[in-house]
A and B are shown apart, each in its own frame.
Chain A
Amino acid sequence: AQSVTQLGSHVSVSEGALVLLRCNYSSSVPPYLFWYVQYPNQGLQLLLKYTSAATLVKGINGFEAEFKKSETSFHLTKPSAHMSDAAEYFCAVRTFGNEKLTFGTGTRLTIIP
């Protein structure tokens, strides 16, 4: 079985401040991990993915995430928040041979001017 927990359903940061969105996963086999962003009334856009290569993964829009097996975590960070980063962020997991993505409940990011 695979599952994802996103700590903090709402996160607010000031413009220019560090963004940290937390994701912990549970998987009995090595996971593939993903972060997606969803803007209001839109579908999901892939930010970045971990597929067992480098543990520090860089994505679009200045985001990055680090896979930490010992902590079963895949937290998303961005050094300096922009107003355009305001959106809902979803962490997701899948495993080899299992095609379905299992999503967390999401974190709504608000940027304070």
Chain B
Amino acid sequence: DAGVTQSPTHLIKTRGQQVTLRCSPKSGHDTVSWYQQALGQGPQFIFQYYEEEERQRGNFPDRFSGHQFPNYSSELNVNALLLGDSALYLCASSLRQGAYEQYFGPGTRLTVT
């Protein structure tokens, strides 16, 4: 049973550029959440997707956007990158009904120079 997968593993971008991160949820899961983890901090909730719609959003600017596809996979897009966007981006999947926990992928390490 494949767990949550994310790509790429590492990414280096320049300020002002745009980036797309990808996530495939655990088999059987229909909900994807994205978190940003800065160095030495706990993960911060960005947003959650269910049925191809953004259902809940954390305190992140509109530069952060996402998408969920019919197969439940998801993308996180960040525009106009800032140095402060450098972080580990974690994808978590869950089952909307009848479950409480979220399962995390290995993350994508984004470095903005």
Contacts and interface: CB of A to CB of B under 8 A. Distances in A.
Interface residues of A, number: 23
B45 A100 contact: yes
Given A43-B90, A43-B107, A100-B56, A49 B45 contact: no
Interface string A13-49: 0000000000000000000101010000111111001
Interface residues of B, number: 25
A89 to B, nearest CB: 10
Given A99-B31, A99-B33, A43 B58 contact: no
28 contacts: A32-B100, A34-B101, A36-B104, A41-B109, A42-B106, A42-B107, A43-B104, A43-B106, A44-B43, A44-B90, A44-B92, A44-B104, A45-B104, A90-B43, A94-B100, A99-B56, A100-B33, A100-B48, A101-B33, A101-B35, A101-B43, A101-B92, A103-B42, A103-B43, A103-B44, A105-B42, A106-B40, A106-B41
